[in-house]
Amino acid sequence: MLSVTRAVLAVAIVSMGCGPSPVGQGASPAAAARQTGVSHAPIEEPVLRLSRPAPPPPIDVASGRNPFRFAEKHAETNGVAATRKLPPLPPPDGLPELPLPIVRPPLRLLGVVTTADGQRVAVIAIGSDLTLVRKGERFGGRFSVTSISDEAVEVSDAVANQPVRLALP
């Protein structure tokens, strides 16, 4: 097996032009290159040239600002560093008061069941929890049921002070 591998390698080397020239021993390299189409010219070694690093960007001397130093708030006045005063923030009394949005948990009406005595019970999903509620009951800590019909449930949200209508899909 090893001799077959060596023979295959020898054939590959000769066919690529890396082995001994098929032209006679006395032939010149130029004649061999003309016959085989492979040039045996010496290969020059690549020269590695390193470039110098770019100089750092200039600092704006007139304003005294150094872009590479952060949180410096001073300016030079006649060669003396003076601390620059920032304007004061406005008082909080003058700012408008914006109400925060109230996020309600995902409520979904899954169904309405009528019991034997005629009362309706709503099956409501709050996230991954199921709740069975009747008219007037509180659930979820902040919701109370105001009315239940065959296709929808009216719920009052105590935190947002607004009604929520849950309909069947």
- pTM of this prediction? 0.42
Average pLDDT over residues 6-15: 66
Average pLDDT over residues 135-151: 93
CA 35, distance to chain mean position in Å, is 60
User: Using CA atoms, how far apart are residues 136 and 156, in angstroms rounded to an integer?
Assistant: 10
Q: Output the CATH code of domain 107-167.
A: 2.30.30
**Per-residue model confidence as pLDDT tens digits over 54-76:** 777 666 666 666 667 666 555 55
* Selected residue with higher pLDDT from 110 and 58: 110
Judge whether 109 and 100 are in contact, CB under 8 Å. Answer: no
Please name the residues in contact with 38: beta carbons below 8 A apart, sequence gap of 6 or more.
17, 32
Name residue, tokens 């060596």: 6
- For residue 107, give both structure tokens: 């409520």
**Per-residue model confidence as pLDDT tens digits over 28-54:** 555 555 566 555 566 677 777 777 777
Residue ranges per structural domain of the chain? 107-167
